[in-house]
Amino acid sequence: MQTEFDLIIIGAGCAGLSLGMQLASLQAQAPRTLLLEPRIAYENDRTWCFWGDEQTPFAALARHSWQRFSVNNAVSRALVDCSATPYRLLNAADFYTQALEAIASNTALDLKTGISLTAEPSLTQGRWHLHTTGGSFSANAIVDTRPLPTQQLSETTLWQSFLGCELEFQEPRFDPTSAQLMDFYPETEAFVGFNYVLPVSTTRALVEFTVFASKIYDQAELVSYLDAQVEKLAGGRPYQRLRNEYGLIPMGVGQPKGTATPAEQHPSYVRVGLTAGAARPATGYAFQRIQRWALACKQSIQKNGLPVGHQPDSFVIRQMDAIFLNVLRHHPELGPELFMRLFSKVSSEKLIRFLSDQGRVSDYLAVILSLPRGLFMKSACQVAAMR
Ligand SMILES: Cc1cc2nc3c(=O)[nH]c(=O)nc-3n(C[C@H](O)[C@H](O)[C@H](O)COP(=O)(O)OP(=O)(O)OC[C@H]3O[C@@H](n4cnc5c(N)ncnc54)[C@H](O)[C@@H]3O)c2cc1C
C-alpha cells in the first residue's frame, strides 16, 4: 500500500472532491494525492443551487433550471427575470458520481472511504504525518476540509438553518418554469424566516423552510414550520415525501476559536470549506465559490506545490455583507421588508451579479441605494466600532 503522497485532502465532500477533480484533470502531471473520507457510501444528501450561464462549472450537469423566480411577503411580490444566468439545481448524487469517476480515472489519486483520523496531523521535518483507522500516511501538504464544530464558530453573525423535503404529488401541482426563492414568514423578532419552493416538474418540488437567526435552529425546531408549509401546498391532495434535508450554514464566521495550532499555520497546511470562508456571508451560497477555489488551488499546486485557501472577499463586499448581516441580527423583524426592497428596486442583472460575487461598482451602489439609509448608516457605525 502506498503511504507517501504529495498532498493529502482530509474530507472528500464538495470541496475535497472538487479539488480532486481539478487535480485528476492534470493527467500525468497530477500530484500523488490521497483523499480521506469517513463516509462509506455517497448518497443524494443535498441539492446545490446557483445562478449561472452555460459556461458556469457544472451548469451542464444541473437537473433543472429556472429563468425566473419570485420573492414575496404577505403584501407584495417581486418576479425576477434571471434568463441571462438561470437559477440551476444540481443533485449531489450527480456531482458525486462525476467526481468519483474523474478521481478513479487517474492513478495518481487515491480516494479512501470509511477512514477516520485517530490523531491530528503532525509536522515532522517538513512532512505531514497522519494516523488513521486505515493506516499511517505522510505528505508534503494538507488541504483540510473538515467542518469546524459550531462551538468554535461563536463569532458567527447569523446562522442559516433549514429543513426541507422533496415532495411528489399524483396530480399536477406546480409551475416548473418559476422558482419561489423566498416567501416570507410573518415578521418576528426571533428570526427572518421564509419558504423556498423549487418545482422540478408539475408534480415534484423541493420545499424548504429557512431561518436566518443569531442562534442555531435544529431539525426538531423547524419541523412544524416545514409541515405547515407542506400542508398549505398540498391543500388536502395526496403526496409522497421522497427525501429530507437539513442544513446549517454560518453567515459571517468571524475568527474561529482555537483552530490554528502552530503546525497548522505552516504554509503547507490550508483549511477550506463551508466553515473556512467558502460561504458568501450575506447569502450562504458556497458551491460556485468552492469551484473557483478548487481551480485556484490546482493552479497554485502546479506553480509551487503548495495549496491555497479561499481568497478573502474584496473590502467592499466584506463591509456590505457585515453591515447587512448586522442589521438582520439586531432587527430580524425588518428582514422581509429589506429583502422585498432589494428584489423589487434593484434590476435583476445587477442583483444576481451582486449575489453571485460578480458585482461591479454600479451594482453595489444600486444595492446600497435600495435600502433605508438611516438604518444602514447606524449599522455601518456599529460594524466599524466592533473592529
Ligand atoms: C443541505 C445543504 C444544502 C446546501 N445547498 C446549497 C446550495 O443550494 N447552494 C450553495 O451554494 N451552497 C449550498 N450549501 C452550502 C455548501 O455548498 C455545502 O455545504 C457544501 O457541501 C460545502 O462543501 P464542504 O466540502 O465544505 O463540506 P461537505 O460537502 O459537507 O464536505 C465535508 C466532508 O468532510 C468530511 N468529514 C467530516 N468530518 C470529518 C473528519 N473528522 N475527518 C475527515 N473527514 C470528515 C465529511 O464526511 C464530508 O465529506 C448547502 C449545504 C447543505 C448542508
Shared-domain flag, residues 107 and 197: no
- Parent domain of 194: 158-251
Tell me: do 290 and 320 sit in the same domain.
no
Lowest mean pLDDT among 186-190, 211-215, 375-379: 375-379
Q: Is 292 in the pocket of ligand 1 (CB under 6 A)?
A: no
The gap from C-alpha 211 to its chain's centroid, in whole angstroms, comes to 15
Domain end (from 251, 279, 294): 251
- How many domains does the chain contain in total? 3
Residue 11 belongs to a domain? yes
Closest-CA residue, ligand 1 atom 34, reads 11
CA dist., res. 10 & res. 36, Å (int): 5
Domain annotation covers residue 112: yes
Q: Are residues 20 and 107 in the same domain?
A: yes
C-alpha of residue 195 to centroid of ligand 1, in Å: 22
Q: Is residue 98 a part of any domain in this protein?
A: yes
Tell me, using a 6 A CB cutoff, whether residue 11 lines ligand 1: yes
**Closest residue to atom 3 of ligand 1, CA basis:** 46
Residue 377 lies in a domain: yes
Same domain for 162 and 32: no
Are residue 241 and residue 261 in the same domain, yes or no? no
Average pLDDT, the chain: 93
CATH number of the domain that residue 179 is part of: 3.30.9.10
pLDDT in tens, 223-236: 999 999 999 999 99
How remote is the CA of residue 371 from the centroid of ligand 1, in Å?
A: 32
Plot region of 11 (φ>0 → left; ψ -120 to 50 → alpha; else → beta) = left
Ligand 1 pocket member 110 (CB < 6 A): no
Task: Say yes or no: 182 and 289 in one domain.
Answer: no
Q: Render pLDDT for 112-150 as a digit per residue (tens, 0 to 9).
A: 999 999 999 999 999 999 999 999 999 999 999 999 999
Residue 68 lies in a domain: no
User: Is 354 a member of any domain?
Assistant: yes
Residues 259 and 293 reside in one and the same domain: yes
Query: What is the per-residue DSSP string for 164-232?
Result: EEEEEESS----TTEEEEEEEPPP-SS-EEEEEEEESSSSEEEEEEEEEESS---HHHHHHHHHHHHHH
Mark whether 262 and 319 lie in a shared domain: no
Residues 321 and 369 in one domain: yes
Q: Is 146 in the pocket of ligand 1 (CB under 6 A)?
A: yes
Residues 223 and 123 in one domain: no
CATH number at residue 26: 3.50.50.60
By most ligand atoms within 8 Å of CB, the mutation choice from 10, 120, 145, 356 for ligand 1 is 145
Q: pLDDT tens-digit profile of 41-99?
A: 999 999 999 999 999 999 999 999 999 999 999 899 999 999 999 999 999 999 999 99
> In this structure, are 300 and 167 located in the same domain?
no
Residues 207 and 186 in one domain: yes
**Position 32 in a domain:** yes
Structural domain includes residue 116: yes
Residue whose Cα lies nearest atom 23 of ligand 1: it is 14
Closest ligand 1 atom to residue 16 Cα is 25
CB under 8 Å to 195, separation ≥6 — which residues?
A: 180, 182, 183, 185, 207, 208, 209, 210, 229
- Largest separation between any pair of C-alpha atoms in the chain: 67
Residue 51 Cβ inside 6 Å of ligand 1? The answer reads no
